Amino acid sequence: MKTNLVTSKLLTSSFLVLVILFVCINSIKVHANNNIESVRLWSAPSSTRVVFDLKDKPDYSFFSLRSPNRLVIDFSNSRAQIDFKKLARSDHRVKKIRTSKPKNKKSKRVVLELDGTYKLVVFPLAPTGQYGHRLVVEMHDTAKPKSVVKNKKVDENRDVVIAIVAGHGGDDPGSIGYNGSYEKHVTLAIAKKLAAQLNRQHGLKAVLIRTGDYFVRHERKPRMARENKADLLISIHADAFTSSQPNGASVLVQSARRANSEFTKVIANREKESQLLGGAGEIIKTTQDDNLAVILADMTKEFTTQSSYVFATEALKELKKVTKLHKTKPVGLSLAVLTAQDIPSVLIETGFISNPKDEKNLNNPAHQKKLAVAITGAIKNYFTRYPPKGTLLASKNAPVHSVVNGESLSLIAQRYNVSLSALKQKNGLKSNTIHVGQKLMIPQ
């Protein structure tokens, strides 16, 4: 009886050991089974992005080599059944993507053979939307382009410059339509048509921030607009919702909370960020008077905020002529693309891609052109009333202003670069109260 009990205990112990070994082996096996499922590559004018799609969260390490230039990535406990040979054929930064023998047999080593020396950024992305785990590699050109910003004092009779941002792009498709169309394709098509319309107008010039199917980081968009000396930034998007009912266009501006938050950041780093504050930037950077710096920066921010709202109102008025509106007044939201302190900026939701009718319209070239014509009309109307100093439009406009909804006397004075007291004196005003439709003479 005692012998049977000992045997039973030994069998039980052996069984437990086997179970534990089985679990351990399988857990190791599962861990070793991360898979590189696909690789995607996008080329932009100043960068290239390579995205590795993985089954699970990537466990990786990387290093770069010179002569020849290479980026080597080791994916721990991973495998890949991918033909890398054709991936980089259309890119001028990545000559070739191949595999190599890793130090650890359970790892997968991927080598990117590079055409030059680039600023390399490697980071993982968590699952979102249609995408799972990803590892992103970005190669940015290191040569700094020559500044295109000219001295406004000597650049007389210039064109008014409109920076157009086509939303999303590359591995960021944006919203996916009711019938499967991608927002990134719709926005680029509309942006290109808008640019074509603007470039036909005397005194207006369009600059496309994204010209193809690639991703531009949000913080770079206002910077690129500033480099091109933009007077207005328009970001083109297509809205979406969880149901297919909502439809129509909207125009968004930066929320007051986000604008104040960005303002606080700029002031806190004013020596670094003075270029974000327009013409007063140099004074704000160098003055020892903190109060003066805050006052000037706040005036710049306030001017940009009011200008954005006034243009948004004008855009809604023109869009209403060609499409249904989802919101009849500008909507304030916290948006990274609208963070410029010195450039009036709006985001136009051209319709709901999640609505079958809107989606069909948004993919229709004729409707895209109607939207572009409407937005162009809003831009012409706006800059006819508020031509920036030194532009061709400013030299041709008569100095009489008709007040529209959302304007203040101080805003009008700033737009025409005259003092508030001079404007009031010219028009015999004893207070700052004005009304819609009122005609104001602008002092010379």
Q: What is the CATH classification number for the domain harbouring 338?
A: 3.40.630.40
Query: Looking at the structure, do residues 64 and 206 belong to the same domain, yes or no?
Result: no
Query: Looking at the structure, do residues 97 and 128 belong to the same domain, yes or no?
Result: yes
What confidence category does residue 261 fall into, taking pLDDT thresholds of 50, 70 and 90? low
* Domain end (from 388, 414, 430): 388
Residue 4 lies in a domain: no
Query: Looking at the structure, do residues 75 and 101 belong to the same domain, yes or no?
Result: yes
More confident residue, 148 or 360: 360
Q: What's the pLDDT tens digit per position in 27-70?
A: 444 445 899 999 999 899 889 999 999 999 999 999 999 999 99
- The owner of tokens 């206002």 is 222
Three-state helix/strand/coil letters over the chain: CHHHHHHHHHHHHHHHHHHHHHHHHHHHHHHCCEEEEEEEEEECCCEEEEEEEECCCCCEEEEEECCCCEEEEEECCEEECCCCCCCCCCCCCEEEEEEECCCCCCCEEEEEEECCCEEEEEEEECCECCECEEEEEEEEECCCCCCCCCCCCCCCCECEEEEEEECCECCECCCECCCCCEHHHHHHHHHHHHHHHHCCCCCEEEEECCCCCCCCCCCHHHHHHHHCCCCEEEEEEEECCCCCCCCCEEEEEECHHHHHHHHHHHHHCHHHHHHHHHHHHHHHHHCCCHHHHHHHHHHHHHHHHHHHHHHHHHHHHHHCCCCCECCCCCEEECCHHHCCCCCCEEEEEEEECCCHHHHHHHCCHHHHHHHHHHHHHHHHHHHHHCCCCCEHHHHHCCCEEECCCCCCHHHHHHHCCCCHHHHHHHCCCCCCCCCCCCEEECCC
Query: Looking at the structure, do residues 414 and 340 belong to the same domain, yes or no?
Result: no
Dihedral over alpha carbons 277, 280, 283, 286 (to 10 degrees): 10
Query: Looking at the structure, do residues 259 and 325 belong to the same domain, yes or no?
Result: yes
Neighbours of 379 (CB within 10 A): 25
Residue 397, pLDDT score: 64
Residue 5, pLDDT score: 47
Query: Looking at the structure, do residues 129 and 84 belong to the same domain, yes or no?
Result: yes
Query: Looking at the structure, do residues 349 and 427 belong to the same domain, yes or no?
Result: no
Mean pLDDT, residues 227-231: 94
Residue 415, pLDDT score: 84
Provide the residue range defining the domain that includes 301. Answer: 160-388
Query: Looking at the structure, do residues 249 and 327 belong to the same domain, yes or no?
Result: yes
The total domain count for the chain is 3
Residue 356 lies in a domain: yes
Instruction: Determine which of 166-175, 243-252, 256-265, 377-386 has the lowest per-residue pLDDT on average.
Output: 256-265
Residue 130, pLDDT score: 78
Residue 106, pLDDT score: 84
* Domain end (from 388, 408, 424): 388
Return the CATH number at 416.
3.10.350.10
Query: Looking at the structure, do residues 191 and 314 belong to the same domain, yes or no?
Result: yes
Residue 17 lies in a domain: no
Residue 16 lies in a domain: no
What confidence category does residue 13 fall into, taking pLDDT thresholds of 50, 70 and 90? low
Residue 444, pLDDT score: 59
Q: Please provide the distance, in angstroms rounded to a whole number, between the alpha carbons at the two ends of the chain.
A: 116
CA dihedral over 306, 309, 315, 320, signed as positive or negative: negative
pLDDT value at 81 more than 60: yes
Residue 258, pLDDT score: 62
Mean pLDDT, residues 328-349: 89
Q: What's the pLDDT tens digit per position in 361-393?
A: 999 999 999 999 999 999 999 998 888 888 888
Query: Looking at the structure, do residues 119 and 177 belong to the same domain, yes or no?
Result: no
Residue type, 223: R
Query: Looking at the structure, do residues 417 and 277 belong to the same domain, yes or no?
Result: no
What confidence category does residue 270 fall into, taking pLDDT thresholds of 50, 70 and 90? very low
Residue 284, pLDDT score: 46
Query: Looking at the structure, do residues 39 and 167 belong to the same domain, yes or no?
Result: no
Residue 12 lies in a domain: no
Residue 92 lies in a domain: yes
Mean pLDDT, residues 145-152: 46
pLDDT value at 332 more than 50: yes
Mean pLDDT, residues 410-429: 86
Mean pLDDT for the chain overall: 83
Mean pLDDT, residues 71-96: 87
Residue 85, pLDDT score: 77
What confidence category does residue 275 fall into, taking pLDDT thresholds of 50, 70 and 90? very low
Residue 305, pLDDT score: 85
Return the CATH number at 95.
2.60.40.3500
* Domain end (from 388, 411, 429): 388
Residue 295 lies in a domain: yes
Residue 230 lies in a domain: yes
